[in-house]
Amino acid sequence: MARWSRSRLRTVGIGAVALLGGALLIVPAVSGAEVAPATAPELSRPVTTATDRVATVTGAGGRSPFHFKPASGDRSTPFAFVSTGGAVRVQRFGHAAVQAKTGAPAGRSARVAAAATTYRTTFTVASQNWTAWNKTIHLWDRNGWAFVPVTNPANSLSATVNLPPGTYYVASMYGIYGVDSYLLTKAFTVTNKPQTVRLDEASAKEVAVKVDDTTARRDMSAVWMSLPNGDLVGFAGGPRTRTYVTTASLAGTTLRVHEVLVKAGSSALKPSPYRYDLVKSWPHPLPAAPVATVRTASLAKTTTTVRAQGVNTDGSYSTVPMTGEWTGAYLPTTMRFPATVTEYVTPGVTMSRLVHYGADQSLQPADRNLPAGTSPGEAVGAGPLVPSRRAYDDDSRRYRNRLEIIENMTLGDAAGNRGADHSERTTMTLRSGGQVLKTSQTAGLTADVPAAEQTYELEQTSTRKVAWSQLSTSVRSEWTFRSGGPAYATLPLMDLTMAATGLDQRNRAGAAPVRLTVVPSTRRTSATSTVGTVEWSVDDGRTWTEAPLTASGDGVEAVLAVPATAAFVSLRVTARNEEGGALRRTVLRALAGPATGGDETVGRTTITDVRVNGGRAIVFGTSGEGEITATFTASDPSGIAGGGLYLYHGSYNTPDGVQTASTQCAPVNATTATCTASIYFWDIRYSLNSNALAGAWRVAAWASAKDGAGFTDRHGAGSVAVKRATTLTANATPEPVQKGKMVTVTGALTRADWSTWSFKPYAVQPVSLQWAKIRTSTWTTPKRLKTDASGKLKTTVTASLDGSYRFGFAGDTASNAVTSAADYIDVR
């Protein structure tokens, strides 16, 4: 059996990133290749570091936050970074650093490389908390603030560099999950000789923002130093840690802190009812004690509701202050959606926000700046989940005789919040006059076209299947538009917004009719746009029913009487404009129905040999984390394109326990693949905060075929036992004992309590007394008994031969088997 009863440390501190219970600690984007400037937060591009492929998502314009996730699904290996001169330098700990341009102005030229005479400078860190996994040392030339690379082999406690005379600024950042995090800085001068510059954590002071709410505790924090040139050093901090900084500073520097607080004791089953989102800046000179306390009554107050996508889902809600620097760090609060949380926010600060479902799917609510006092609440993630019109001017364009198609907004909510799903597969085809001009396997393509105006047809299909969303599994958009050149302008593609009433917090229809509102529009033009038809289907598009329409504002309204037997509702809408443009959009499973869908198989795709943790139970004690592996075999005559699985406890639609996974499928032959999933319990005190979660967890698994037609989804593909750890003791007396006399054996059986996080007596449980003769390994069972109301054991046997006594507990569906240590008795 796999067993974790003691916490393993996991690096998360300075500039590091880790997945926490399915929620991403988001930090500036990193890569090992150049990333072109982007103006849409949802633009995602795969790039490569020296050690791993990562997916980056860039923000709007140059001065905006960045975030990334390891494309391999690695939830543990951290990255360090520093933002300097429009570039993000990234390093997977233990490997060489690489650099990615972010579209910001080019870095300032360093005079270090051109200097003829240099002197060796050594940096040392005096630390009691340092770990080689996550320490970084960065250096700037204060004459122009150019970034200067240093040599730091194996992330040791020292670094070296050859410097010409001048003034410099050095920073070191380090920390680890569960212990203190540090940001140490120092200004120094190079004259005409070598020197050693010492950074001492003993000189650092705690930095924090606290509240007068005694029930609140720190959940996440980020601390960084803004430099005079707009670069920054960051981010120290992490989950539930204290952060210390050097308070000596330079003119033009600013210390900033972002703190997120939640209610103490919150968990997946008992989520925090509130979230404090606090920001504080201290410009030079810094206070001797950079700790601020704010009153709850002085903050902005609002509520945010995040709807789920058909099924209960673990995810996160993240925010980052927009302070005008090159990068920022989103701080996530892990939640189980649907969720409603009361937010207390530092007033007057613009916050960018993200909602993550599972690991790959996200929505980005609009930036928000709240005044002090109470503001109206907001709902995020309301269905139908359809492509959402971008607020930024980065649409598909014509540039002279080239069409540059960028339609990467394949997911959004009814409020217009933009979204993305990095696990989706997207195809595009551009035609004209019945001829295919270009195809693409991404959300973008470019095509050279004639100068003369003509009609074009653009088709895009995005498909997705993930654990955290049952909805919008396929979105197909078919555009017709006219374009001619030369021109540099947005293409006149049509858009549709959709909103629905009559859905619950999981976007599921109930007994009441669903009222659907559809509004058409056309980009770049004032041409009148109208909806032609609205059709709906409850059998995934095999048959369609046209709904009667009534005018509603700039669009139409349709009333859908969803039958109680329907598991999903698909939508197909057509629209036209007076310039010959058109759009037909088909969204499979746009909404969930009242019924629960069963297993599905299309074609000949199969899943077999599902095995979790090697068939062994997963055992947890009173703290810690654990990672297990699950495997299955997927087959289809055309081959396997991909697959996935997750664990859940309770009902399929409303589970009370969820553990998602990162899954990779490797082909065995032309038709078969072996899929391997990594399932990570990041903190059992959060994810297993109830004894009711012990027992059988079910496996939901799916796989799709390479031909795009075959598919299977099994809600009960397997199971695994998740058990509470037990302990058992035994003590035989007297020692020694006369032959024929009585031996008394006592002991106690205890079991991990996942509500108090302590071991408690396990009463009235069957236990066997076992005996083995000296110099043998054969155990017999002379007696069977039960624990008393206090979990204690006491029995007697007649002494006959030298040997050892022990107790054995066979376990049950919620508790692991355990055998006590043996106690030897000398019989005379």
Q: Does one domain contain both 131 and 179?
A: yes
Maximal C-alpha separation, the chain: 110
The CA distance from 552 to 416, in Å, is: 18
Strand blocks (E) in 672-778: 672-681, 695-705, 711-724, 726-728, 731-733, 742-753, 758-761, 766-773
CB-facing half-sphere around the CA of 588: CA atoms within 13 A: 15
Please report whether residue 411 resides in a domain. yes
Return the closest-CA partner of residue 471 out of 362, 700, 310, 586: 310
The CA distance from 521 to 527, in Å, is: 8
Q: Does one domain contain both 559 and 605?
A: no
What 3 state SS string does 69-83 have?
EECCCCCCCCEEEEE
Question: Which residues are bridge partners to 745 per DSSP?
Answer: 732, 795
The CA distance from 304 to 375, in Å, is: 11
Which two three-digit tokens encode residue 662? 């990162």
pTM above 0.75, yes or no: yes
Give me the CATH number covering residue 677.
2.60.40.10
Domain end call among 659, 690, 723: 723
Which two three-digit tokens encode residue 44? 């995602």
pLDDT of residue 828: 93
The CA distance from 641 to 635, in Å, is: 10
Residue 763 corresponds to which amino acid?
A
Please report whether residue 213 resides in a domain. yes
pLDDT of residue 14: 28
Q: Does one domain contain both 718 and 738?
A: no
The CA distance from 739 to 800, in Å, is: 5
* Structural contact between residues 440 and 407, judged by C-beta atoms closer than 8 angstroms: no
Domain end call among 347, 380, 413: 380
Q: Does one domain contain both 735 and 689?
A: no
What 3 state SS string does 584-612 have?
EEEEEEEEECCCCCCCEEECCCEEEEEEE
Instruction: Give the helix/strand (H/E) hosting 655.
Output: strand 655-659
Which two three-digit tokens encode residue 123? 């940096």
3-class DSSP state for residue 347?
A: coil
Please report whether residue 687 resides in a domain. yes
* Structural contact between residues 510 and 591, judged by C-beta atoms closer than 8 angstroms: no
Query: Do you find a cis peptide bond into 235, omega within 30 degrees of 0?
Result: yes
Residue 257 corresponds to which amino acid?
V
State the Rg of the chain over Cα: 31
Sign of CA dihedral 239, 244, 250, 256: positive
Residue with tokens 């998502």, as numbered in its chain: 57
Residue length of the chain? 828
Spans of the chain, pLDDT less than 70? 1-116, 129-134, 176-178, 326, 390-394
Residue 795 corresponds to which amino acid?
T
* Structural contact between residues 352 and 322, judged by C-beta atoms closer than 8 angstroms: yes
pLDDT of residue 390: 64
Q: Does one domain contain both 731 and 717?
A: no
Q: Does one domain contain both 180 and 266?
A: yes
Please report whether residue 431 resides in a domain. yes
Q: Which residues of 354-363 are buried (b: 16+ CB within 10 A; e: fewer)?
A: bbbbbbbbbb
Residue 242 corresponds to which amino acid?
R
pLDDT of residue 241: 84
The CA distance from 615 to 618, in Å, is: 9
* Structural contact between residues 2 and 618, judged by C-beta atoms closer than 8 angstroms: yes
Q: Does one domain contain both 96 and 128?
A: yes
Give me the CATH number covering residue 804.
2.60.40.730
Which two three-digit tokens encode residue 361? 């799917």
Alpha carbon distance, N-terminus to C-terminus of the chain: 40
The CA distance from 828 to 824, in Å, is: 13
pLDDT of residue 13: 27
DSSP string, 143-193: TTTEEE--B-GGG-SEEEEEE-SEEEEEEEEE--TTS-EEEEEEEEEE-SS
Q: Does one domain contain both 478 and 495?
A: yes
Which two three-digit tokens encode residue 635? 């087959």
Q: Does one domain contain both 634 and 713?
A: yes
Please report whether residue 326 resides in a domain. no
Q: Does one domain contain both 527 and 460?
A: yes
Q: How far is CA 287 from CA 230, 235, 258, 290, 770, in A?
A: 21, 20, 17, 5, 67
The CA distance from 337 to 315, in Å, is: 7
Domain end call among 701, 723, 745: 723
* Structural contact between residues 572 and 386, judged by C-beta atoms closer than 8 angstroms: no
Query: Do you find a cis peptide bond into 287, omega within 30 degrees of 0?
Result: no
* Structural contact between residues 412 and 338, judged by C-beta atoms closer than 8 angstroms: no
pLDDT of residue 38: 29
Question: Which residues are bridge partners to 427 per DSSP?
Answer: 461
Q: Does one domain contain both 167 and 142?
A: yes
Domain that holds residue 457: 397-592
Domain count, the chain: 4
3-class DSSP state for residue 384?
A: coil
Please report whether residue 322 resides in a domain. no
The CA distance from 425 to 462, in Å, is: 5
The CA distance from 38 to 54, in Å, is: 17
Q: Does one domain contain both 543 and 633?
A: no
Burial of residue 537 (number of CB atoms within 10 Å: 0-12, 13-18, 19+): buried
Please report whether residue 385 resides in a domain. no
The CA distance from 527 to 110, in Å, is: 54
Please report whether residue 696 resides in a domain. yes
